[in-house]
């Protein structure tokens, strides 16, 4: 087993053992034994130094009263690889994941396809699960060291300062154990920082959040993503805040509904490249203009 963080962990097979009981004897033991609780697949016992609680030995007992297979299988036959991946998580000090399955979960704490969920079910996608999910990796990264986050892109990369805007940040090495473990901040020289709301880990390569940019200073802002341990990444001038456009006049201001009408002048302020123009009326389909040209920050043409 290898942990995808800056530390690597390898479990080496040291041969068969004739031992039939576990204990603090300097041997990391895996053995089969019949459990009184017939539905328990296996149990791991962790021995530490009682001072700093460093793990010094681990023993795993597998319920020999159940049927086992070393390959993908269906109930009631159990997948030995799937169980041992879960138990090896305990060897690295991960705990069981519990939760009320009848309560809706956020996408980052769902029990589905999580190695460390306490129960194996086909409906959870973990009966034959032999690979770590992003939250499983995040659990290991929480305990051990991990690489700093990387930002490749933020989209959308612009927003008007008339309302909050939802964005996605893509990159790598993202991790989170709770909603407060990740933070996203916009910063600009001479301005107060803008802290994102509803920061959510979607995967190890994607984070979503809401930027409360109402009333913020227009211009380019730096984007910073920070982990719980203080490791950060900052992209300079990556998000642009725009003033809300203001329309003060339109020529012509009327037209017959027999065909297209060319707008020769749309005047106002805070116009920017890529601007769109539309006519709206309650209960009616929006009419989107075509061939919009931004002449200046205060003048548009539509042909």
Q: What share of the chain is helix, strand, coil (3-state, %, to 5)?
A: 10, 35, 55
Supply the CATH classification number for the domain 150-242.
2.60.40.10
Question: At 87, phi and psi to the nearest 5?
Answer: -70, -35
Distance CA 247, CA 33 (A): 78
Contact between 78 and 70 (Cβ < 8 Å): no
Distance CA 216, CA 222 (A): 13
Return the structure tokens found at 39. Answer: 């539905």
Domain ranges of the chain: 29-143, 150-242, 246-302
pLDDT at 285 over 90: yes
Return the structure tokens found at 253. Answer: 């201001």
Query: Which of 167, 273, 160 minimizes the C-alpha distance to 217?
Result: 160
Element (H or E) spanning 139, and its range? helix 134-143
pLDDT at 148 over 50: yes
Q: Which residues contact 95 (CB under 8 A, 6 or more apart)?
A: 116
Mean pLDDT of the chain: 85
3-class secondary structure per residue, 246-289:
EEEEEECCCCCCCCCCCEEEEEEECCCCCCCCEECCCCCCCEEC
Return the structure tokens found at 273. Answer: 């490249």
Element (H or E) spanning 91, and its range? helix 80-91
Cut 0.85: pTM above it:
no
Query: 146 falls in which pLDDT band (50, 70, 90)?
Result: confident
Q: What is the pLDDT of residues 21-50, one digit of tens each?
A: 888 888 999 999 999 877 899 999 998 888
Place of tokens 């994607």: 206
Q: Which residues contact 295 (CB under 8 A, 6 or more apart)?
A: 301
| Cross-strand bridge partners of residue 170 | 153, 206
Q: What is the pLDDT of residues 94-142, one digit of tens each?
A: 888 876 555 544 544 566 778 888 888 888 888 999 988 777 777 777 7
Query: 196 falls in which pLDDT band (50, 70, 90)?
Result: very high
């Amino acid at each position: 087993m290898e942990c995808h963080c800056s530390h690597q962990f390898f479990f080496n097979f040291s041969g068969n053992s004739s031992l039939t009981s576990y204990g603090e004897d300097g041997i990391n033991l895996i053995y089969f034994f019949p459990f009184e609780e017939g539905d328990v697949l296996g149990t791991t016992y962790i021995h530490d130094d009682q001072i700093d609680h460093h793990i010094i030995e681990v023993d795993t007992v597998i319920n020999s009263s159940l049927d086992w297979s070393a390959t993908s299988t269906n109930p009631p036959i159990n997948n030995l690889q799937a169980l041992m991946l879960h138990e090896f998580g305990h060897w690295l000090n991960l705990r069981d994941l519990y939760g009320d399955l009848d309560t809706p979960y956020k996408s980052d704490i769902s029990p589905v396809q999580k190695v460390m969920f306490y129960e194996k079910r086909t409906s959870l996608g973990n009966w034959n699960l032999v690979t770590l999910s992003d939250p499983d990796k995040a659990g290991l990264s929480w305990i051990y060291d991990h690489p700093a986050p990387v930002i490749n892109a933020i989209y959308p990369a612009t927003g008007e300062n008339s309302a909050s805007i939802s964005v996605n940040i893509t990159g790598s090495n993202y991790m989170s154990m709770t909603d407060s473990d990740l933070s996203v901040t916009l910063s600009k020289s001479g301005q107060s920082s803008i802290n994102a709301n509803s920061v959510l880990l979607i995967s190890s390569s994607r984070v979503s959040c809401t930027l409360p940019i109402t009333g913020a200073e227009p211009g380019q802002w730096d984007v910073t993503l920070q982990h719980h341990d203080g490791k950060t990444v900052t992209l300079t001038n990556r998000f642009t805040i725009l003033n809300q456009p203001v329309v003060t006049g339109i020529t012509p201001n009327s037209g017959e509904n027999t065909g297209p009408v060319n707008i020769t002048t749309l005047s106002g302020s805070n116009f920017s490249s890529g601007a769109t123009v539309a006519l709206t009326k309650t209960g009616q389909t929006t009419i989107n203009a075509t061939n919009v040209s931004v002449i200046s920050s205060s003048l548009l043409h539509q042909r």
